[in-house]
Amino acid sequence: MDAHVTLADVLAMPLVREADPEVVAGASALDRPIRWVHATELSDIAPLLRPGDLLLTTGVGLEGADDPVALAAFAASLAESECAGLVVELGRRWRDALPAALVQACAATDLPLVALHHELRFAALTQAVGERIVDAQLAELRESERVHDTFTELGFNGAGPEEVLEAVQRLAGSPVVLEDGDHRVLDYRVGGGDPGEFLRDWSTRSTRVRPGARTGWDERNGWLVTRLGRRDQDWGRLVIGADAPPTARLVAVAERAAAALAMHRLHDRDRGHLLRRTHADLLAALLREPGSTDVRRRLDLAGFPTRRRVFVGLSVRVPGRDRTAPELLTTVLHAADSSGLPALVVEESREVVVLLSLPTPAAGTPGAHPAEDRLAARVRERWAGTPGRTRLLVAAGRAVGLLEDVDRTLREAGQVADAVSSAGAGRSRTVHRLEDVHLRGLLALLGDDDRLRLFAERELTPLRRHDAEHGTDLVAAVRALLEHPTSKSDAAAALHLSRAAFYARLERAERVLGARLDDPEVRVSLHVALLAEQVRDSGS
């Protein structure tokens, strides 16, 4: 909304149209805003005018009105004072047409010159235009107050980037984009329009835009660009669509929005927070609508390519902890960034979930991607750099070629991590995969199946019931036997029991089960039941 009155607006007023106005020079400058209207017959009025003043005259009192040189000097003085235009009423000094010298001088300086062929009450025009100007100024004040109130309320409510962008789009009525320092789109709002054209080749186009000031207009793209952060520490930019030179109000919207984003960043006290939220939002949207064109576009703009790629899910955990270590997310983010790997990194309650976008392997290439191992090695290296850090567990799902299958590779990564966790801390690989966990991997895949749960309960309930009623620990004896299948002496030692005491427990377990523990099928059934419980407990 432009809160000013132009000469074109004045010429369209009924009061002026009745006077039959004719623009005889400076027609290209009719969009100049008018600050006020003055009526005069003085030829030396220019020093008293302010930029944007519109001058009305009949020419009766102008000195040198018949002297071409004086008329040219008069027009030049008005142009120098940045007068909005000169309106001359014919019939008093000049009957049918304005002097050619005056017309030529105004045309040479692009000063709008309007001839009125009928009488016009200058006082009435001054009043009408004045009222329009005051109304426009009041409207501008109301809009400024609206902008102020909007961003003040957002600040009090601790609004995040999403709310700020929605407010900018609503106030500006134009698309708005928030990008990071590498010109990757973090978020955007386009209203009801199609974002395709506005976001086309974003990174390439944005890299070329370098406004000299904090806020600047790029005419080629039609962007109003505001820098976020200090000049030497820019962390991003806010871009608003602006096909025409931006109004003062639009600039105010951009700069208030930039201030709101800066305050949110300051309160957050974490430089990676915005990136983390972006990753979380993108992964959630991908899992919710994997076939959405908008989601794919957002991923591509955020530096996560989706065309001709394969996707691998990773689970990164600190073994033995029920909750994610606070520093783990930052460690993984930095490792992915320094490795140059496109990744979405999201913190869950007990793990950091990573989704990698990798080039499609050439035909005949073995399945595993070395990128996963490189990333895992870098994560471990950064994590181990701080004293007191425990080792990490990194598990990977199988690569998938479709975004619709991303959920599968992420679930597999979590299931592999559950299987490895249930085996204890003895195993150590750079990246654990499904083929590394054997039976535990299968049980992890079936972990949510009620049939597996019922099977484990059916196999182990007799032993657990006996332990509860008689204060024994037959389940532990059976587990030790299964974990040391080649040596009952080692099994007894693991429980700190003598061989005789251990044999006695095994005999009692056989009576409770009604089965022989040296029966291979019985052993396999009990082993599967115990492993299923371990895997389920580690993944709960």
Average pLDDT value for residue range 140-149:
74
Residue among 426, 378, 373 at smallest CA distance from 395 = 373
What per-residue confidence (pLDDT) applies to 67? 84
CA 148 to chain centre: 24
CA dist 387 and 258 (Å) reads 39
Write the DSSP string, 424-492: -S----SSB-GGGSHHHHHHHHTTT-HHHHHHHHHHHHHHHHHHHHH---HHHHHHHHHHSTT-HHHHH
- Summarised one tens digit per residue, pLDDT across range 75-86 is 898 988 899 899
Question: Which band of pLDDT confidence, cut at 50, 70 and 90, is reported for residue 444?
Answer: low
- Summarised one tens digit per residue, pLDDT across range 303-313 is 899 998 999 99
2 has a pLDDT exceeding 80: no
What percent of the chain has pLDDT above 70? 87
Residue among 162, 183, 280 at smallest CA distance from 225 = 183
Q: What are the phi and psi torsion angles at 323 (to 5°)? A: -130, 155
Residue 192: strand, helix, or coil: coil
What per-residue confidence (pLDDT) applies to 353? 93
- Summarised one tens digit per residue, pLDDT across range 504-530 is 898 898 898 888 988 888 888 888 887
Question: Which band of pLDDT confidence, cut at 50, 70 and 90, is reported for residue 367?
Answer: low
Exposure string for 301-322, b = 16+ CB within 10 A, e = fewer: bbbbebeebbbbbbbbbbeeee
In this structure, of 111-115, 132-136, 278-282, the range with the lowest mean pLDDT score is 132-136
Exposure string for 211-238, b = 16+ CB within 10 A, e = fewer: eeeebbbbeebebbbbbbeeeeeebbbb
Comparing 366 with 502, the larger pLDDT belongs to 502
DSSP 8-state symbol, 247: P
Average pLDDT value for residue range 376-402:
80
Residue 319: strand, helix, or coil: coil
Per the prediction, the chain carries an average pLDDT of: 83
Determine contact, residues 109/76, Cβ cutoff 8 Å: yes
Average pLDDT value for residue range 179-190:
86
What percent of the chain has pLDDT above 90? 13
Q: What are the phi and psi torsion angles at 288 (to 5°)? A: -80, -40
178 has a pLDDT exceeding 70: yes
261 has a pLDDT exceeding 80: yes
DSSP 8-state symbol, 303: T
Residue 216: strand, helix, or coil: strand
From residue 251, give the alpha-carbon distance in Å to each of 6, 246, 331, 484. Answer: 20, 7, 38, 74
What per-residue confidence (pLDDT) applies to 1? 41
CA dist 121 and 106 (Å) reads 24
Domains and CATH numbers, the chain: 5-130 (3.40.1390.20), 158-269 (3.30.450.30), 304-445 (3.30.70.260), 450-539 (1.10.10.2840)
Residue among 6, 22, 189, 19 at smallest CA distance from 98 = 22
391 has a pLDDT exceeding 80: no
Residue among 344, 527, 315 at smallest CA distance from 420 = 315
271 has a pLDDT exceeding 50: no
Torsion of Cα atoms, 406 then 409 then 411 then 414, to 10°: -130
Q: Tell me whether strands 352-359 and 343-347 are parallel, antiparallel or unpaired.
A: antiparallel
Tokens of 369: 């991607």
Determine contact, residues 234/206, Cβ cutoff 8 Å: no
424 has a pLDDT exceeding 60: no
Q: What are the phi and psi torsion angles at 185 (to 5°)? A: -75, 120
CA dist 440 and 433 (Å) reads 11
In this structure, of 54-58, 114-118, 137-141, the range with the lowest mean pLDDT score is 137-141
Average pLDDT value for residue range 210-236:
84
What per-residue confidence (pLDDT) applies to 406? 93
425 has a pLDDT exceeding 50: no
Strands (E), 58-175: 85-89, 113-116
387 has a pLDDT exceeding 60: no
364 has a pLDDT exceeding 50: no
388 has a pLDDT exceeding 70: no
- Summarised one tens digit per residue, pLDDT across range 48-57 is 888 988 988 8
What per-residue confidence (pLDDT) applies to 426? 39
Residue 355: strand, helix, or coil: strand
What per-residue confidence (pLDDT) applies to 369? 64
Q: Tell me whether strands 53-57 and 36-39 are parallel, antiparallel or unpaired.
A: parallel
What per-residue confidence (pLDDT) applies to 34? 86
Residue among 92, 112, 90, 109 at smallest CA distance from 24 = 112
Strands (E), 203-282: 215-218, 223-228, 236-241
DSSP 8-state symbol, 174: S
In this structure, of 21-30, 237-246, 303-312, 419-428, the range with the lowest mean pLDDT score is 419-428
What per-residue confidence (pLDDT) applies to 403? 92
